[in-house]
């Protein structure tokens, strides 16, 4: 008997987005889904906005109305829906070049903060697009044979595949690099 008690708890809270995506894919209104499932429009609206958690039975009724299964909806509800704070590290020696990842885990986006100078001889080439933002100081970036000087608050956008290298031109420079993660194949459809 103890098994059933936990089913509800393990269900990801954020099934709403999956329900809404599926409903919109089928081009259905909430009223139509309500009619097909026997559930009320306000309840379905709350489910879609993750303000109500459907029981397994209700979820199966919704799934039937959307011509899918509860299992599919739960699979489409991203269990990795999470909020993660990465705090500033304290106690690091000042003036030492260092890099820290601003995104933990295996996600679709990667972000790093480079502090201080880095090996200017090292050339980078990323599979996907990336954005470089100077939070403090100044950098010189060489990309596609051209040099760009960026100061505090400036950004540079590079499309995937562009070879580039950079160096800090001011001590204690902080450079943020945000990119689509390497394991994502985001180049599809781009003409070479």
Segment 6-23, tens digit of pLDDT: 334 444 457 898 899 899
Q: Could you give the CA distance from residue 24 to residue 139 in angstroms, rounded to a whole number?
A: 46
Task: Give the model's pLDDT for residue 95.
Answer: 65
Q: Could you give the CA distance from residue 146 to residue 161 in angstroms, rounded to a whole number?
A: 15
Top pLDDT among 54 and 82 is at: 54
Query: With a threshold of 0.75, does the pTM exceed it?
Result: no
Residue 114 tokens read as: 């480079």
Q: How far is CA 121 from CA 110, 124, 149, in A?
A: 23, 10, 17
Q: Could you give the CA distance from residue 147 to residue 74 in angstroms, rounded to a whole number?
A: 49
Residue 81 tokens read as: 């829906």
Task: Give the model's pLDDT for residue 192.
Answer: 41
Q: Which backbone phi and psi does 86 adopt, to 5 degrees?
A: -110, 115
Task: Give the model's pLDDT for residue 11.
Answer: 45
The dihedral sign for the CA sequence 42, 50, 180, 149: positive
List, for residues 34-57, the tens digit of each pLDDT value: 999 999 999 999 999 888 889 989
CB 157 within 8 A of CB 143: no
What DSSP string describes 83-95?
A: ----PPP-SPPTT
């Amino acid at each position: 008997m103890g098994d059933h008690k936990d089913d509800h708890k393990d269900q990801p809270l954020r099934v709403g987005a999956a329900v809404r995506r599926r409903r919109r894919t089928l081009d259905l209104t909430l009223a139509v889904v309500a009619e097909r499932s026997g559930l009320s429009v306000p309840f379905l609206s709350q489910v879609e906005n993750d303000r109500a958690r459907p029981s397994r039975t209700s979820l199966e009724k919704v799934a039937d109305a959307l011509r899918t299964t509860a299992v599919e909806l739960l699979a489409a509800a991203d269990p990795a829906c999470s909020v993660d704070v990465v705090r500033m590290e304290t106690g690091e020696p000042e003036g030492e070049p260092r890099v820290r990842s601003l995104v933990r885990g295996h996600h679709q986006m990667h972000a790093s903060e480079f502090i201080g100078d880095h090996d200017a001889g090292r050339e980078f080439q990323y599979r996907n697009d990336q954005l470089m933002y100077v939070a403090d100081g100044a950098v010189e970036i060489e990309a596609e044979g051209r040099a760009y000087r960026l100061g505090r608050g400036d950004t540079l956008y590079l499309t995937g595949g562009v070879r580039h290298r950079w160096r800090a031109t001011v001590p204690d420079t902080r450079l943020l690099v945000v990119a689509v993660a390497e394991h994502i194949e985001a180049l599809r459809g781009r003409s070479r």
